[in-house]
């Protein structure tokens, strides 16, 4: 599958499998602004007045594969033998 190159000042959100954890975001994705990539997380909400909206959180981009490899590396470094 070809890698998608996101254009500057654009964002993409995709449905997220929440599994058995209701606190996980309903949607996840990424955005690029001024050449910097960010992670997006979004939750579906409803206001007291009954209007539906998305609550969106923006955070530093973390490559999921690098993040999981880093966790494995950190565990290996802690073994005393």
Residue 56 burial (CB < 10 Å; 0-12/13-18/19+)? middle
pLDDT in tens, 16-69: 998 899 999 999 999 999 999 999 999 999 999 999 999 999 999 988 756 555
Indicate the pTM of the whole model: 0.70
Residue 3 to residue 30: CA distance in whole angstroms: 14
- Specify the higher pLDDT residue, 72 or 4: 4
Q: What is the pLDDT of residue 79?
A: 66
- 23 in a domain, yes or no? yes
Q: Based on the structure, what is the number of domains in the chain?
A: 1
The answer to whether residue 3 is domain-embedded is no
Q: pLDDT at position 21, please? A: 94
- Domain of residue 36: give its range: 10-77
């Amino acid at each position: 599958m070809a890698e998608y190159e996101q254009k500057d000042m654009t964002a993409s959100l995709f449905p997220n499998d929440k599994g058995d954890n209701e606190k996980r975001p309903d949607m996840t994705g990424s955005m690029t602004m001024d050449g910097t990539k960010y992670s997006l997380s979004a939750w579906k909400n409803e206001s007291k007045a009954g209007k539906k909206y998305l609550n969106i959180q923006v955070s530093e981009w973390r490559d999921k594969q690098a993040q999981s490899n880093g966790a494995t590396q950190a565990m290996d470094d802690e073994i005393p033998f």
